[in-house]
Amino acid sequence: MRIAGRPYRSIWLDAATGQLQIIDQTLLPHRFEVRAISDVAAAAEAIRTMRIRGAPLIGAMAAHGLALALAEDPSDSNLERASEELSATRPTAVNLRWSIDRVVAVAAALPPPNRAAGALAEAIAICDEDVATCEAIGDQGLAILRELSDKRDPKEPLQILTHCNAGWLATVDWGTALAPVYKAHDAGLAVHVWVDETRPRNQGASLTAFELREHGVPHTVVVDNAGGHLMQRGRVDVVLVGSDRTTAAGDVCNKIGTYLKALAARDNEVPFYVALPISSIDWTIEDGLREIPIEERDGAEVREISGKTSAGRVETVSLFPAESPVENPAFDVTPSEYVTGLVTERGCFEATPEGLQGIREAVRRPPQTP
């Protein structure tokens, strides 16, 4: 997608030097800075400190991280060490494990001198596939948005509420929840996005609003508390969020607070769709509440916040004294019963064991356009 009119991906190899590069998302929206990633430690650090985040992008970075590790030392022991280092960075996202396993399988089958090149090719393939997947999610979601739009006053924009950032900055390009929004906007369908601020890290206000602004999509930032009120007043036509991990029964683990929006959507008969790549489905578990470990992050994310001073410096300020303890769970689980549909690259499916079975079957067939 575009920043100041120029197309970007969220992770890429510099055309001149071949160096791996990312946009340092911790500096957005105040500063746009490209950062080089030159070894596996830098890759792990970028995931852990959330310079890059979003399940698909984490997976892409881990794949490239393994390629960087093997370029330094292609031994079995280094491959194992690097996989472990990258796996340990974020416990919730299932793409991370999926992506690492995929590169390890390719590399381990090659003689050591060929491993770095093999891993790099696989990392590039993972990135390209992610772009294609997200664009397909966009097309599938666009069909849903068109249908919802047809049911209402065509002069008014379709009102979409989203939580956190499941945009192109969370993937390699297009995004998951935002891909249908970009597709709709580009196709001339009037849309307006309610952007949840998404405390504590404010990915909505910092990243989703940044993306939409740069792409010219009408949007309004609201605090996370406001979504229920907006739905009660009939000001939201559809909720569209991403997913970090979806179970084989359709439970959705996503950014903390997603569950509250799902409850409000149900209470106000607003459809609640989850957009996700099929790779983020964890087929090994059913009950999201009991089986998904929820990452507990540093309380400093709640206690401190960064912003721009009137003098233009980015400063971190403390919101309340350290004497008050903090808990900071990063995700919650939305039970499948609250999910209207799972929008995947192979179509929209019900969040039920039968719907998930439909996804399994769709994967075995060639892709179809909606």
Contact between 275 and 179 (Cβ < 8 Å): yes
Q: Quote the CA–CA distance of 269 and 52 in Å, as a whole number.
A: 35
Tell me: does residue 225 bind a second copy (CB under 8 A): yes
Residue 72: both structure tokens together: 């330094």
- Shortest separation between residue 189's beta carbon and a second copy, angstroms: 20
Residue 55: both structure tokens together: 């399940």
- Shortest separation between residue 279's beta carbon and a second copy, angstroms: 25
Query: H/E element holding 99?
Result: helix 94-108
Tell me: does residue 222 bind a second copy (CB under 8 A): yes
Contact between 11 and 43 (Cβ < 8 Å): no
Angle subtended by helix axes 112-150 and 55-72, to nearest 10: 170
Tell me: does residue 322 bind a second copy (CB under 8 A): no
Tell me: does residue 59 bind a second copy (CB under 8 A): no
Tell me: does residue 369 bind a second copy (CB under 8 A): no
Tell me: does residue 17 bind a second copy (CB under 8 A): no
Contact between 195 and 222 (Cβ < 8 Å): yes
Site string for a second copy, 249-268 (x = CB under 8 A): ------xxx-xxx-xx--x-
Tell me: does residue 220 bind a second copy (CB under 8 A): yes
Work out which of 118, 167, 180, 227 binds a second copy, going by CB under 8 A.
227
Q: Quote the CA–CA distance of 312 and 295 in Å, as a whole number.
A: 34
Q: Quote the CA–CA distance of 198 and 55 in Å, as a whole number.
A: 16
Handedness of CA 297, 299, 305, 306 (dihedral sign): negative
Closest CA to 125 of 86, 71, 67, 80: 67
DSSP state, 356?
Answer: H
Total interface residues for a second copy by CB under 8 A: 64
Tell me: does residue 2 bind a second copy (CB under 8 A): no
Tell me: does residue 325 bind a second copy (CB under 8 A): yes
Binding span for a second copy by CB under 8 A among 85-93, 114-122, 180-188, 196-204? 196-204
Considering beta carbons, is residue 13 or 294 the nearer one to a second copy?
A: 294
Tell me: does residue 329 bind a second copy (CB under 8 A): yes
Work out which of 200, 277, 347, 358 binds a second copy, going by CB under 8 A.
200
Binding residues (CB under 8 A) for a second copy: these are 29, 195, 197-200, 202, 205-206, 209-210, 212-213, 219-230, 232-233, 255-257, 259-261, 263-264, 267, 289, 294, 302-310, 315-321, 323-329, 331-333
